Amino acid sequence: MLVPKQSNNWFKGAIILTVGALVVKILSAVYRIPFQNIVGDTGFYIYQQVYPIYGVAISLSTYGFPVVISKLYTEMKSKDDLIGLEGLIRSSFLLLYSIGIGAFLFLFFGAEYLSAAMGDEELAILIRVISFAFLFTPFVATSRGILQGEGNMVPTAVSQVAEQLMRVGTILFCSVYFISKGYSLYTVGAGAMLGSVTGGLLSFLVLFYFYKKHRTLSDGPSVYRIRRSNNKKIIKKIIYEGITISVSSMLLILLQLADSLTIYTQLLSVGIHGEQAKVLKGIYDRGQPLIQLGTVISTSMALTLVPFITGERLKKEKSLLAEKVRFSLVVSIFFGFGASIGLISMINEVNGMLFQNEQGSQVLAILCFVILLNAMIVTCTAVLQGLGSTLYPAIIVVIGFVIKYALNGPFVTAFGTSGAAYATNLTLIIILVLMAVKLYMLLRVPLLDRKHVMIILFAAVCMYLSVEGYIHLTDIFIQKEDSRLLSAFQSLTGVVLGGFIYVFLVLKGNVFKEQDLLVLPFGSKLSWFLPKKGR
C-alpha cells in the first residue's frame, strides 16, 4: 500500500496541481502560434485535423479516470479495506489497458478509414503516430488516480508539466528540422504528432518513478482472494463515472472533432479547390489558440469558486449555496465577456501580430464568443457535478457534438468557414440553455442578477468602443512601416487600455462586493475601485 501523507500535503498538493494545470493550459495554447508561423496555414490545418484525437486521450488520462479512481481509493482507504484497494488497483489497470490497447488498434489499423472520413487520406500517417499515445494512457490515468487518492497531488502536476514541455519541445524541434530538410507538410505533421508520444512516454516514466517510490508491499490478503463480484462493481463504477466526467471535459475537443470531420469535405463539395480548402481550414483553426488563451483566464477564475459550492456545509444551506452558484456564474460572465469582447475589438491586430497576416479575422471574431459561452458552460458543468449530477452534463455534451456535426453541413455550404463558427456558437448556446435549465430545476432560485449582467454588458460595449477608437487613432498617427510590429504595439497597449476601462466600470457598477473580490486574484487591490457603498 502507498505510504500515507501528512494532512497538510493535501493543501500544498492541491495548490501545486492547480498551478501545474494552469501552466499546461497556457503551454497548450501558446505553442500553436510559433508552430503555425513555421508550417503556415496548410501545415496548421494538417495538425489540427488530427489533434482532437490526442485531446480525447488527454481527457481520459487527466480528468475522468484519475478523478474516479482517486475517489474510490480514498473511500476504501478510509475504511481500511485492503482487499478493496488491491482490487481497485488491479481492476483499474486491467480495464484501462483494455481500453487503451483497443483504442490503439482501432486508430492504427483504422487510420485510412478515419482519414478518408476527414476527406484527406494523407492524414493516415498522423493518425497512426497518435495511436501510440493511447498505450501510455492506462498507466498514466491509473497511477495519477492512486497517488491522488493518497493525497499526493505532486506526481500528477509534475507529470503533466513534464509531458507538455516534452511534447511542445518535440513539436517545435521536428517542425523546424523537417521543414529545413524539405519534407512534406504531412511528414512535418507526423513529426509534430510524435510529440504526443514522447510526452506520454515522459509522463509514464515520471509517474512510474513516483509510483515505485511510494508503493510498498501490502501485508493484506492476496489479490487472488478478491471476489469477482467486487471487481465487476469496481469496473462498472470506473467506467460509468470515468467516462461521464471525461466526456463532460471534452466539449471543445468534440466540437473540434466535428469540424475535422466536416469542414474540409464540405468546402470541397461546394467546389473549392483542395489546397485552398486546406488553407481556409487552417485559417479557421487559428481561432483555437485564441479560444484556449481566453478560456484559461475565464474558466480558471470561475472554477476557483466551485469548492465552496461542493462543500457539505453549503449543501445544507440552500440560500448560501444559491448565492455561491450565482457568484460563480457572474465571475464566468465577467471574465468571459472581457476576454471575448476584448479580443473582438482588436481581432485584426491580434491576428496580424500572432499569425503574420490578418486573413480570416472576421471568422475569428465570430469564434471569440466561444470564450464567453464555454466559460459559462464549464462553470455550470462543475456546479452540476458538485451537486451530484454527473451523467446529465455528459449526455448534453454528446448531444452538442451531434448538433454541431449536423449544423456544419448547411452552415459551411451557406457561409463557408464563418458558417462553422456560427454553428459552434449556436451549439454552445443550446448546451448552455440545457445546462442552465437543469441547474435551475435543482436549485429553484434565479441564477443571475439581471442588473449585474447589464452592467457587465455596458462595460464591455464601452471597452469595445474605446479600443476601436484607440486603434483608429494609432493607425492615423503611426506609419505602418512594419505592420506586424504595429499590430503588436496596438494589441498589447489595447489590452491594458481596454482591460482598465472594463474592470473600472464593472467595479464602479457595484457588481462585486469587497468580500467577493478577496477570493479572486489581486482582489484586494481591485477593491480600491469599489464605490464606498460597495465596500
How far apart (Å, rounded) are the C-alpha atoms in residues 121 and 115?
A: 5
pLDDT for the residue numbered 150:
78
pLDDT in tens, 120-164: 999 999 999 999 999 998 898 888 888 888 777 788 888 888 999
For all residues of the chain together, what is the average pLDDT? 84
- Of 30-39, 71-80, 349-358, 375-384, where does mean pLDDT reach its minimum? 71-80
Cβ of 247: how many Cβ atoms within 10 Å?
25
pLDDT in tens, 390-447: 889 999 999 999 999 999 999 999 999 999 999 999 999 999 999 999 988 888 778 8
pLDDT for the residue numbered 6:
43
Distances (CA, A) of 283 to 34, 337, 362, 437: 14, 24, 11, 35
Transcribe 245-282 into DSSP letters: HHHHTTHHHHHHHHHHHHHHHHHHHTT--HHHHHHHHH
Cβ of 266: how many Cβ atoms within 10 Å?
24
Which of 438, 80, 58 shows the shortest CA–CA distance to 246? 58
Confidence of residue 477 (pLDDT cuts 50, 70, 90): confident
- Of 40-49, 52-61, 117-126, 214-223, where does mean pLDDT reach its minimum? 214-223
pLDDT for the residue numbered 224:
42
Which of 331, 367, 337 shows the shortest CA–CA distance to 350? 367
pLDDT for the residue numbered 183:
92
Max Cα distance, the chain (Å): 80
pLDDT for the residue numbered 274:
86
Please give the average per-residue pLDDT across 376-384, as a whole number.
Answer: 88
Please give the average per-residue pLDDT across 343-350, as a whole number.
Answer: 93
pLDDT for the residue numbered 39:
93
Distances (CA, A) of 152 to 144, 160, 231, 488: 9, 14, 25, 42
pLDDT for the residue numbered 317:
65
Transcribe 290-343 into DSSP letters: HHHHHHHHHHHHHHTTHHHHHSHHHHH-HHHHHHHHHHHHHHHHHHHHHHHHHH
pLDDT in tens, 170-198: 999 999 999 999 999 999 999 999 999 99
pLDDT in tens, 198-251: 999 999 999 988 888 766 534 444 444 444 546 677 788 888 888 888 888 889
- pTM equals 0.86
Task: Name beta bridge partners: 2.
Answer: 215
Cβ of 482: how many Cβ atoms within 10 Å?
10
Choice between 176 and 86, residue whose per-residue pLDDT is larger: 176
Give the residue extent of every domain in the chain.
Answer: 1-249
pLDDT for the residue numbered 223:
42
For the chain, percent of residues with pLDDT exceeding 70? 84
Give the count of alpha carbons within 13 A of 28, CB side only. Answer: 27
Please give the average per-residue pLDDT across 368-383, as a whole number.
Answer: 90
Nine cell digits for residue 381: 458543468
Is the pLDDT reported for residue 310 higher than 80?
A: no
Range of 312-316, 505-509, 514-518 with top mean pLDDT: 505-509
Is the pLDDT reported for residue 35 higher than 90?
A: yes
pLDDT in tens, 482-514: 688 888 888 999 999 999 999 899 988 888 776
Residue 418 sits at the vertex; the CA angle it makes with 59 and 340, to the nearest 5 degrees, is: 60
Choice between 48 and 68, residue whose per-residue pLDDT is larger: 48
- Of 27-31, 333-337, 339-343, 364-368, where does mean pLDDT reach its minimum? 27-31
Choice between 325 and 262, residue whose per-residue pLDDT is larger: 262
